[in-house]
Every structure is written in structure tokens, then in C-alpha cells.
Structure 1
Amino acid sequence: MESLTNLESFVRSAESGSFSAAARRLALTPAAVSRNVAQLERNLGVRLFQRSTRGLTPTEAGERFLQSVQGGLDSIQGAIADITLNAGQPAGVLKLSAAAGFAIDYLLPLMPAFLQRYPGVTPDWFFDNRPVDLIAGGFDAAIGGGFDLPPGMVARELGRIHLIAVASPAFLRGKRRPKDPAGLAELPGVVMRSPLSSRARAWVMRNGADAEMGAVEKPVMVVNDPDALCRATLLGLGVGLVAVPHAAPHLESGALERLLPEWHVDVGPMSLYFTNQKLLPAKTRAFVDFVIEAFRTQKLPQIPLVRNKTGGGLA
């Protein structure tokens, strides 16, 4: 019977496309992973990879073998982790990728209660606004929004992210407020760059009647981080299309004012996502269930009711 170590080295190498990436995930050396795969090939009597300087590509036989063993290996590893870690209690390092501002404002406050309930789990957080490859990066879970769900992942929605046009009172002093999203072009704007394309994001705004209009921004500054966008807007550099969770406390304090109160951008869901495994490790399942339950009661701030300066009513 083939060893679990050899099978795991093969599957992780196939998933990541390199022995080095598989080695980082398995806490082995690249040479050890390569030897394990070579031994598996000898035992099976077939070549599983085409090797080149650009990486690894499964052969036809390797692809068939991967499809046959991948799901079973994940289930076996999950079962072993669940039964061996503190007799099945959640334990171990929980590697998470999340957008910094969202994680600090909404996840970090949950951690005292989470760690009190699961003291054997050690959160290991990486802050990044871009989608990550959970398998290649060795992540247990990630939280993000505004991008397509990677293949092989399961997403649990935490809330929808809306952007609203805001600016500081000092910036707005003496300026004419726009009447619609196209009017934003008349004011300097702090603009968000896409983390995927590195180009300035083009947003479409929507109102309560489901009419849509492009938000035409005149960049005075371009950033690639939502927290930097909000901060620059607070400093009076220009109008920003800021996510409601970031803008809400500053609207409450009066540090920001909302423009175009009938219009917003629907970016999509902010989701907690993780690998599609039948049996998740206990630490991952505990984290997923805890966060989902917390967000059922602690919802993300929604589009606020803002007093319309021109009409005097609530929008």
C-alpha cells in the first residue's frame, strides 16, 4: 500500500505546480517532496509529472490519478487532524487572509471571545486586499469581496459592501455639490486602483429607483487600499467612494459628509471563503461557524440615512 506521505507530496505538488510550494505547505524541503514523488512514480510504474524549468505539469496518467485520490486524501487528513488535535478539539495555527481595515474593525473585536472558547487555536493573520490562492498559500480561510470566487472554494456571505460618495466638510466648503454621479467629474477625487488590474476602478452607481449611472471621477490621488482612500478623504484631498463600514463612524461624528444621498455602488458580498472539503479541520470549522454566527447578530453597517442638504428630508 502506498504511503500517505508520498500521496500527499504528489497531490500538493500537482495543486501548486511546484515542489517548492508543496514543500512550504507540508513543512518539508523541496528535495524531500521531489524524492517522495519519485518514489511514488517508481512504485506505480508511471510518470506522473512533466518537469521543466517553468514548473510541474501532470501527465495524462498523473491527471487521472490526481482526480482519483485528491478528495480522499483531503478527507483522510481532515479526519486525522480532527481526531489527533486535542482529541478532536479545535487546535493549531489558523492561517487567515483578510483585508486589513475590515479585519481590524470587524474581526479583531471577535477574537477575545473566540480565543476564550477555543484556546488551542492560534490565529495567524495576513492582511491583503487581493484574492489569495488558499491551497498554494497554505491558508485555512480568507475574507474578501469584490472578486470572483476562486475554483474549489466555498463562500459564506457576511454582508454586502456598498460604496457611497463622501467628502470632508472643509473640502466641500464653497463648492457646488454634484446632482448626479456624472457631476463628480467637477470635483477632485481620491480614486481606488484595482488590486488585480492596477488600473483605476470604474464604478457604476445605482439609486433607489434602480437607475444606473457611471461615476465619473477626476483623480487628484490614486490609492490601492480602502483604508488609505478613507483616510485621504478625511484629510480633505477630494471626494471618495468609500465603503459604508469605513465611512459610517465618520458620518456619525461629522468628519465626513455624504454626497449624492440617493446613489450608491453595490460592490457585492463580503464573504468568508474556505476550501470545499467534506471534512474541514476542527479549527477551520470552529472559526467559520463562530464568525458566521457573530455576523448574524453584528451586521455590517448598511447604507445610512443621510439628511439631504438641498431637500431637507431623509434620503
Structure 2
Amino acid sequence: METLANLESFVRSAETGSFSAAARRLALTPAAVSRNVALLERNLGVRLFQRSTRKLTLTEAGERFLVEIGGNLDALQAAIASVSTDRGEPAGVLKVSMAPTFGITYVMPLLPAFLARYPLIRPDWHFENRQVDLIAEGYDAALGGDFDLAPGVVSRALAPVHLVAVASPAYMAGRVPPADPGDLADLDGIVMRSSRTGRVRHRTMRNSAGGEMPARLRETIMVNDPAAMREAAILGLGVALLSVSDVLSSVERGELARLLPRWYADTGAISIYYATRALLPAKTRVFVDFVVKAFERERLAKRFAGSME
């Protein structure tokens, strides 16, 4: 009988078209995946893939074999995961992606309590301002906003992402406070240039009465990271539109003051993303539940809301 490792290596290589991509999903080396597939081919006595330097292509026999075992493999993995979960504690490497400022401020402080409860889990956390491919890159979960939902990935909203206008008290000293978002154009703007498109994105702000108005900041200073925008605003260099989660502590300390307190830009939600499966690995399930409960306990959805009414 073939080993589960050989069958997994074949199925994931067929799904991704690459030994390297399959290796990332399986937490193996590309050489190990290639070796497992080669062993499977030898034992079956048929070639399952046509190999080239650029990609893998299933042979006719490989296509038939994939159809035959694909669903059965998922059921077998679920059964093994279920037995493992019942037998012991959640364990293993937990690979998670999250935005640096948000992750360090709100998720990292959860780690001591999480590890105290689940000591066999080993965090492998990546702080990065990009949308990762959970399945292809082998992530167990990701936290962020505005992800494109790829097939096989689900999201669970945690809190709103509302952008608000902030500036330091020193910068606003002697200046006329803006009466509406249109007045922001009269002030120095600290804006973010997209690393992906190279463009500066301007927002439309709204208020609780349903009014909307463009907020076109002057492009005085351009950076590519929200933390840098916040620090530039604290230094008194101008006005920035930043998420409440990024500036909440700075506003509470008096380093920044909120302008236009009844106006905000709604850009979606901070969500936790993970692969949809009939049975999540225990390490992923407990992490998702832990984060969701922490957000509820700290009332972060309400604290991150942009409307002050």
C-alpha cells in the first residue's frame, strides 16, 4: 500500500503544477516531494507526470489516478486529523501572515497567553504589507484587510477598517481646523504610495448622516508604510489618513489629534483568513478561535469604528 506522504505529494503537485509549490504546502523540500512522486511512479509502474524545466503536466494515467484518489485523499487526511486531535493537544508550526503595525500592536500581545494554553504550537509569524497566497505559500492563516478570496480560502471579519484624519497638535497650532474633508487639501498631506501600483490612492470620507465627500490630500510627503505615515504625522509634518487601529494609542496619548471627528473613510474590514476544509488542523482552529475571542473581549470592533457619534 502506498504511504500517505507519496499520495499527498502527487496530489498537491498536480494541483499546483510544481514540486516547489507542493513542497511549500506540505512543509517539505522540493527534493522530498519529487522523491515521493518518483517512488509512487515506480511502485505503480506508470509515469504520472511529464516533467520540464518550467512545469509539470499530468500524463493520461496521472489524470485518471488524480480523479480516482483526489476525494479519497481529503477524506483520509480528515480522518487522520480527527484522530490526532482527539489523541493529543494542538501542535506543530503555525505559519501566519499579518501587517506589521497591526500585528505587532494587537496580535503579538496575545502570544504569551496563547502559548501558555497551547505549548506544543510553534509560531512562525511573518509581518508583511502584502496579500499572501495562503495555499500556494503554505500559510495556516493571515490577518489583514481587503484580501482577494482565492478558491479554498474563507474569511472571518474581526473589526472595521476606518481611516481617519490625524495630525499632531504642534502642526495644527495656528492653523484653521478643516470644517469638512474638502478643506484637507489646504494642509500638508502625508500619503501612501502603493508598492504594487506605484500610485497614491485618495479616499472618499463619509459621516453618520450619510454625507460623502472626497478627501484629496496634498501629496507633500509620500511613503509606502502606514507606520511611517504615523511617525511623520507625530513629527508635525502634516495630515495623514490612517486606520483607527494604527493611531488609536497615539491619539489616546495626545501625540496626534483627530481632525474631522465625525468623518471617516470605510475601506472594509480586518479579517482572519484560512483555508476552508471539512476539518481544520487543530493548531489553526484554536488560533482562529483565540484571536476572535480576544477581539470580542477587548471590544476592538467598536474601538476601531471611525464614527464618534
Secondary structure class of the residue paired with 1:135 = helix
Q: Is 1:302 the counterpart of 2:304 in the alignment?
A: yes
Instruction: Tell me the equivalent position of 2:138.
Output: 138
Give the Å deviation of 1:47.
5.9
Could you say if the C-alpha distance between residues 113 and 194 of structure 1 is closer, same or farther in structure 2, counting changes exceeding 3 Å?
same
Unaligned runs of 5+ in 2: none
Structure 1 match to 2:171: 171
CA contact (8 A) 1:82 1:90 kept: no
Higher mean Cα deviation, 13-22 or 104-113?
13-22
The residue aligned with 2:289 is 289
Cα distance, 1:31 vs structure 2: 3.5
Residue correspondence of structure 1 range 125-204 to structure 2 within 5 A? 125-204=125-204
Q: Does 1:256 align with 2:256?
A: yes
Match in the other structure for 1:103:
103
SS at match of 1:179: coil
Contact 1:190 1:220 in 2 (8 A): yes
Letter in 2 for 1:259: L
Distance in 2 of aligned mates of 1:213 and 1:263: 9
Could you report, residue by residue, the CA deviation over 1:196-236 in whole angstroms, capped at 9, with x for unpaired residues?
43322232211222222222122222222222221121111
Structure 2 partner of 1:112: 112
Instruction: Report the more deviating stretch, 30-39 or 217-226.
Output: 30-39
Residues 155-199 of structure 1: CA distance to partner in whole angstroms, max 9, x if unpaired?
A: 111111111011111112222333332332222211123354332
Query: For the aligned residues, what is the CA RMSD?
Result: 2.7
Unaligned residue ranges in structure 1 (runs of 5+): 307-314
1:8-87 alignment, distance < 5 Å: 8-40=8-40, 48-49=48-49, 51-58=51-58, 66=66, 69-84=69-84, 87=87
Q: Matches of 1:152 and 1:235 in 2, distance apart?
A: 44
Does the aligned pair in 1 maintain the 2:23–2:33 contact within 8 Å? Answer: yes
Deviation at 1:278, TM superposition (A): 0.7
State the secondary structure of the residue aligned to 1:219.
Answer: coil
SS in 2 for 1:272: strand
Query: Separation in 2 of the partners of 1:85 and 1:305?
Result: 43
With the length of structure 2 as denominator, give the TM-score of the two structures.
Answer: 0.87
**Aligned equivalents of 2:75 and 2:97: distance in 1?**
23
Most deviating of 186-195 and 286-295: 186-195
TM-score by length of 1: 0.85
Percent identical: 59
Cα distance in 1 for partners of 2:65, 2:212 equals: 49
Distance in structure 2 (CA, Å) of the matches to 1:215 and 1:289 = 37
